[in-house]
Amino acid sequence: MEILISNWSNVECVPKKYIFPPERRPGKLEFPVCHDIPLIDFAHNHPDEIVQQVIRACQEFGIFQVINHGVCENLMYATMNMYKEFFKLPSEYKAKFYSNDINKSCRIYSSTFAYDTEEFHYWRDNFTHRCHPLEEYIQSWPDKPPKYREVVSEYSRETRKLLYKILDMICKGLGLEKGYFEGEVSKTHLLSVNHHIPCPNPSLTLGMPVHSDPNLITLLQQCDVPGLQILKDGQWIGVHHVPHSLIVIPGIQLKVMSNDKFITPVHRVVTHRLEARTTIGVFLGPSLEFLIKPATALVRTEPAEFRAFTYPEFFKVFNGGANKSDAQLTLNHFRDKH
Ligand SMILES: O=C(O)CCC(=O)C(=O)O
Ligand SMILES: [Fe+2]
């Protein structure tokens, strides 16, 4: 069978390989939608108040949405359309980018990078590429749909600017020097797009594994088809879509650098019976050499909750057998036992 689900047509039932065992299925289709997820307006509040709202959200919810964030609505719309069109391109064109090698700077794959060995497949295609420095990577990007490189480079620049603005708010709120999260700690800049075709029975399968983001910080643009859920107080709840908003998710490394003050939310994606769903994620993460540890300014006055480690060291534990991408289990491994 075709690996990429975006090449499938007339899907009438969920193929066996996509049917999860009962205990891992989403089961019921109606999930409570949470309207308590902090919604922060970046334009109509005092800057100090916005910083407080961001810090509170990172500490209490670990996920928040921003509006009036400065990324132009037309650009968001154009980029989303670009990706909807990209996934509709002929299979021969997309095949040029197919790879399960995570070191490849531009690639499309389906389910997870472990497609060949995994027991069950997730109902998604993913297209990921590196974005910074732009001159280094732009040639590896697709040249279709027309204007792809033009639109997506503008989008990467604008969303990157916003992420650094948020990181500087976090610096201010935590009492770290401005620019603390610039350089090696956020050197890896990826754009990662999920695409799910309509699924005949969403109760049987998942669009993305249960996970916490392993990077520093994530920005997510949703479309109007729901699917993202976070685990809150032991319950899965749907994240409602606010038009023109962007979602911010603190990654595991930000939790470590905040010396365990922040929450990195556990989340997953469920599929939709009638409509295709596309989301655009922008991920900043450390370089392979950077030593990740609680911020120096924080551990002058309080004990460090984690020992220092590199990103490759982290992934060895995170992807290791029993941990199954579980942030808590992985972090226990690096936790300093005072
Ligand atoms: O597609 C979504 O809504 C979530 C994506 C996500 O969690 C991720 O790419 O890490
Ligand atoms: Fe995620």
**pLDDT (tens digit, 9 = 90+) per residue, 248-276?**
999 999 999 999 999 999 999 999 999 99
The token pair at 176 is 């770290």
What pLDDT sits at residue 122? 98
Higher pLDDT, 338 or 242: 242
For ligand 2, the distance from its centroid to the CA atom of residue 89, given in whole angstroms, is 25
- pLDDT score recorded for residue 337: 77
Q: Which residues of 63-89 are buried (b: 16+ CB within 10 A; e: fewer)?
A: bbbbeebebeeebbebbbebbeebbee
Selected residue with higher pLDDT from 130 and 325: 130
228 close to ligand 1 (CB < 6 Angstrom): yes
Q: Using the 8-state DSSP alphabet, how is residue 167 labeled?
A: H
Ligand 1 touching residue 176 (CB < 6 A): no
Q: What pLDDT shows up at residue 321? A: 65
* Tens digits of residue pLDDT in 77-93: 999 999 999 999 999 99
Give residue-wise pLDDT tens across range 57-82.
999 989 999 999 999 999 999 999 99
Task: Say which ligand is closest to the CA of 282.
Answer: 1
Ligand nearest to the CA of 228: 1
| Angle at which helices 47-60 and 148-174 cross, to 10° | 90
pLDDT of residue 322: 65
Residue 161 pLDDT greater than 90, yes or no: yes
pLDDT for 262: 98
| pLDDT tens, residue by residue, 275-301 | 999 999 999 999 999 999 999 999 999
At residue 323, the pLDDT reads 58
On the question of pLDDT at 111 being above 70, the answer is yes
Query: CB of 160 closer than 6 A to ligand 1?
Result: no
Distance of alpha carbon 71 from alpha carbon 68, whole angstroms = 8
Lowest mean per-residue pLDDT among 119-128, 217-226, 228-237: 228-237
User: Is the pLDDT at 44 greater than 90, yes or no?
Assistant: no
Least confident span in 113-127, 134-148, 242-256, 320-334? 320-334
Nearest bound ligand to the CA of residue 264: 2
Asked if 149 contacts 162 with a C-beta cutoff of 8 angstroms, the reply is: no
The pLDDT of residue 35 is 73
Ligand 1: distance of its center to the CA of 269 in Å? 7
pLDDT band per the 50, 70, 90 thresholds, residue 7: very high
**Span 167-196, mean pLDDT?**
97
pLDDT at 29: 73
CA distance 260 to 331: 10
**In the chain, pLDDT over 90 holds for what percent of residues?**
88
231 alpha carbon – ligand 1 mean position (Å): 14
pTM of the model: 0.96
Rounded Cα distance between 263 and 250, Å, is 7
List 230's β-bridge partners, or say none: 237, 267
Q: Indicate which atom in ligand 1 lies nearest the CA of residue 207.
A: 1
Which of 223, 230, 10, 18 lies closest to 110, judged by CA?
Answer: 18
Q: Is 223's pLDDT higher than 80?
A: yes
Q: Is 100 in the pocket of ligand 1 (CB under 6 A)?
A: no
All structural domains of the chain, each given as residue ranges with its CATH number in brackets, are 5-291 (2.60.120.330)
Whether the per-residue pLDDT at 131 is higher than 90: the answer is: yes
Higher pLDDT, 244 or 29: 244
Ligand 1: nearest atom to the Cα of 281: 9
Per-residue pLDDT at 28? 78
Q: Is 32's pLDDT higher than 80? A: no
The tokens describing 100, both together, are: 């399960």
Measured from the Cα of 124, ligand 1's closest atom is 1
Evaluate: CB of 325 within 6 angstroms of ligand 1: no
